[in-house]
A and B are shown apart, each in its own frame.
Chain A
Amino acid sequence: MTAFSDTRPRHLLDFQGWSTERLTAILDNADTMLSVLDRPVRKVPALQGLTVCTVFFENSTRTRISFELAARRMSADVVSFAASSSSLSKGESLRDTIETLTAYKVDAFIVRHEASGAAHRVAQFSGKPTINAGDGRRAHPTQALLDAYTIRQEYGDLAGRNVTIIGDVRHSRVARSNTELLTRLGANVTLCGPATLLPRDLAGERVTLTTDARTAVKGAHTVMALRLQTERMDAGYLGSLPEYIQGYQVNEALMEHAEPGAIVLHPGPMNRDLEISADTADGPRSRILKQVENGQAVRMSVLYHLLVGRA
C-alpha cells in the first residue's frame, strides 16, 4: 500500500492538491488497466452500479469516447450530456444544468468546457467527483497523465528527461498541464513557439522558453507538437501558415537535432503537414497511437482512484 503525502483528492481538476506519489500511483495502476485492454473480455466490475456522466460543453468526440470506454470497461453506466443539444442553448445556467444532472444520481462528472475554470465550477455545483477533460486554456490533466505514461513507457523514468513542447503554447491546456506534471516527475520542459504564442509568465524552475525550434529540440528525448488552430493566423498571431511550418513544424529535419531515438507525441487531433509532417506522424519515432491507447488505461486508473472505495 502506497503512503500518500496528500489527503485523498475528491476531483481531478488540475494537479493542485495532488501529491507526486499519488500521481505516480495513477501511472503505476495504468499498467494493470492496460493489461485489461489486452484480455479477450475487456471488462472488469470495479465501477459496477456507478453512473458516470460526461458533460461536454465543447465538442471532442475522441476524448469523450476515450473516457466513456474507460468507464464502460470498468462496468460503470455512462450517460452523456452535449451542450449543443441541451437547454444551455435555451439560456439555462451552468449551475442549473449541473444541479439537474446531479439530481439524476450521477456519481461522477467528466467535464470539457471552453472556459478555464468551468470544471472547478462543476465540482462546486455538483459536489460529486469531477474530472476535468479540458477547460479553456487551463488544464487537461488526463492528457498530461497519458503523455507522462507514454514517455515513461519508453524510458522507464521521467527524471532528467528533456521534453520539448512546440506550437501554440499560449492557448494550450495540454502544454500547461504537461509542464506542471512533467516537471514534478523530474523532467525538464522546453516550451517553444512564435513569440505571439509563447507567454513569458510560464517560465520557471526546469521550464525553459525559446522561440527557436532547433534550440528547443536540442537534447530532447521527447518532442510534442501542439495542434495549431488555423484561426490563429486570421487573429494576427502568425504571418502565414507556410511561415509557421518553416519555423515550427515537427518534421524529420527538425528531429535531426534531437537526441537519437527521441520520440514524437501529439495530443491530437492532428493537422498533418501543418504542425507535424505526415512522415513524422506516421514514422518510427511517433508514439501518437500509443498515446491514444494509453489514454484509455490512464483514464480507467483515474476513475478507479476517484471512485472506488469512496464512501
Chain B
Amino acid sequence: MTITITNIRRPNSDTPETLTIENGLIKGWNLPAEGETIDGNGATVAPALLELHAHLREPGQEVKEDLASGLAAAAAGGYGTVVCMPNTSPVIDDPALVRALIEKADALGFARLKPSAALTKGQQGKQLAELSLLREAGAVMFTDDGRTNEDARVLRLGLEYAHSLGMVVSVHAEDATLRADGVMNEGAVSEALGLPGNPAAAEAARVARDIEIAALTGARLHVQHLSTARALDLVRDAKARGVPVTCEVCPHHLTLTDEALRGFDPMFKVAPPLRTQVDAEHLLAGLLDGSVDCLATDHAPHTRAEKEQDMLHAPFGIPSIEVAFPLMWTQFGEVLGLERLLHLFTGGAARVMGWPEPTLDAGQPADLVLLDLDTARPVTPAEFRSKAKFSPWAGQELRGWPTLTVVGGRVAYRR
C-alpha cells in the first residue's frame, strides 16, 4: 500500500515537499506521486508524537476510557505511540493481559500501544511482579504509577531487577505520608480556600530518596510528572553527578497554577497538584536547559459525574492527550522553538525509553503527524475522541492542531 503526502514542510522550512510511504515505511522524499495522494495543505510534518504516560483505563474502567477511545484520542492529538499505565482493574501485572492489550490495540489501527506493567504485584508495593515475563509479553516499562513506592527496599529490588532486563522503572515520586489528605498544592491558596494541602516537599523528599536509590543501583529511573521547582533542582543535580535519572513534565503543570482552584472546580484537581507560578516557570526553564527530558500528558480521563463531585471526593486527573501539543505550541512555541518542542514530544521521550530517536528518513517506520501551526481553533471537548469530554482549556483558542496522524503507514487520524 502506497500513500503520497504532498505540500508539506519540514520544521523551520518554507519549501513544500512530498513524502511517499510504502508498506508502512517511509519510501522517500520528493518522489513521483503514486498510490493514494493526500494534500498536506502546507502543514508541518514531524515524526508522530510519543506519549510515555497515559491512563487508558482498560481493563476495568472502560466507562472512563477504553483502548479504542484512548488510542483514537491519542492519534487525534498527534501521537503515534502510547505507553499506558498499569493502574487498571485488574492491575496490568499479568503477561497474558499485556499480550491481550497489545493484540487488541493493533487491530484498532489508531496509535500504537506499548503497555507499561506494574513493578509490584497488584501495585501493592510488596512483591515484585514477573518482570522478565512481562517484558517478554511486550511491556516496555515498569511502574506502580497511581501508587507511590513507599517501601524503599522494594523499589531498590525492582530497579535492580528491571535494570538487569534493560528496562526503565518510572515512579510517581511523592511521599504519601507527607502528602496526607492533600487535594491541592499547600500554600497561601490552599489556606485561603480551606482545602487540605499537599506540600512541595512531599515530591522533593521522595525524588531525593529515589535518586539515591538510582545512584545505589545504577539502574535507570524515570521520574514522572515533576511539578515542583525543588524536585527539578534535585534531578538536575543528580544528572550532573551522573546518576541515571530522567524526568517528564506535563503541560498542565506548565500552563496552570493553584490559583485555578479558586473556583473550587475539581476539573483542576490533579496529582501531583497544580503548583505555583514560580514552579511553572522553573519547569519551563527545565525544558529549555534540557534538565527535563520530555513532555508527557498524564492523560487521566474520568466520567463527568465523577468530576462533578466536590473537591474532596472528585478523582484526580484530567484528559489532555488531544490538546497537549497545541497547548504547548500556543503558549510556549516562541520561547522553546519548534525544534525543541518537537524533541520534547518525540526524541526526548524515545531517549528516556532507550529507543532510537524517530526520524522521517527513508526506511524508517511511517509514524508521522502533520501540524497546522497557524490556524487558531478553540478547544471543543464535545469533539474529543476521549470519553472524557471536558477540559480545563475548553474554549481556549489554540494553534498547532494535528491535521493528519499516520501510524505504520495507515491513516490513524485525519481532520
Enumerate chain A interface residues (CB-CB to B < 8 A). 93-96, 113-118, 120-121, 125, 135-139, 173, 176, 199, 201-202
Partner of B187, one of A113, A117, A201: A201
Instruction: Specify which chain A residues have a CB less than 8 angstroms from the CB of B312 in the assembled complex.
Output: 114-116, 136
Nearest B-chain residue to A177, judged by Cβ: B194
Question: 8 smallest A-B Cβ distances: which pairs?
Answer: A117-B264, A138-B194, A137-B194, A115-B310, A201-B191, A115-B312, A95-B308, A116-B194
A116 with B264: CB separation less than 8 A: yes
Partner of A94, one of B187, B188, B263, B308: B308
Nearest A-chain residue to B264, judged by Cβ: A117
In the assembled complex, B193 has its CB within 8 A of some CB on chain A: yes
B311 with A118: CB separation less than 8 A: yes
Q: With A and B bound together, what is the CA distance between A114 and B306 in angstroms?
A: 17
B191 with A117: CB separation less than 8 A: no
Instruction: Specify which chain B residues have a CB less than 8 angstroms from the CB of A113 in the assembled complex.
Output: 310
B310 with A117: CB separation less than 8 A: yes
In the assembled complex, B195 has its CB within 8 A of some CB on chain A: yes
Q: With A and B bound together, what is the CA distance between A121 and B195 in angstroms?
A: 15
Enumerate chain B interface residues (CB-CB to A < 8 A). 187-188, 191-196, 263-265, 305-306, 308-313
Instruction: Specify which chain B residues have a CB less than 8 angstroms from the CB of A199 in the assembled complex.
Output: 191
Q: With A and B bound together, what is the CA distance between A173 and B265 in angstroms?
A: 19
Partner of B188, one of A93, A125, A137, A201: A201
CB within 8 Å for A139 and B309 given contacts A120-B264, A201-B187? no
Nearest B-chain residue to A176, judged by Cβ: B194
Instruction: Specify which chain B residues have a CB less than 8 angstroms from the CB of A115 in the assembled complex.
Output: 310-313
Q: With A and B bound together, what is the CA distance between A147 and B238 in angstroms?
A: 54
Q: With A and B bound together, what is the CA distance between A123 and B309 in angstroms?
A: 13
A202 with B309: CB separation less than 8 A: no
Instruction: Specify which chain B residues have a CB less than 8 angstroms from the CB of A96 in the assembled complex.
Output: 305, 308
A116 with B308: CB separation less than 8 A: no
Q: With A and B bound together, what is the CA distance between A202 and B189 in angstroms?
A: 10
A113, A136, A173, A202, most chain B CB atoms within 10 A? A136
Nearest B-chain residue to A175, judged by Cβ: B194
CB within 8 Å for A136 and B308 given contacts A116-B264, A120-B263, A201-B188? no
A138 with B195: CB separation less than 8 A: yes
Shortest distance between the CB of B213 and any CB in chain A (Å): 27
A93 with B191: CB separation less than 8 A: no
B305 with A117: CB separation less than 8 A: no
Q: With A and B bound together, what is the CA distance between A158 and B292 in angstroms?
A: 54
Q: A93-B308, A116-B195, A120-B263 are in contact. List 9 more A-B contacts (CB 8 A).
A: A96-B308, A114-B312, A116-B194, A116-B311, A118-B311, A120-B264, A173-B194, A199-B191, A202-B191
Selected A-B contacts with CB under 8 Å, 20 pairs:
A94-B308, A95-B308, A96-B305, A96-B308, A115-B310, A115-B312, A116-B193, A116-B194, A117-B193, A118-B310, A121-B264, A137-B194, A137-B195, A137-B196, A138-B193, A138-B194, A138-B195, A176-B194, A201-B191, A201-B192
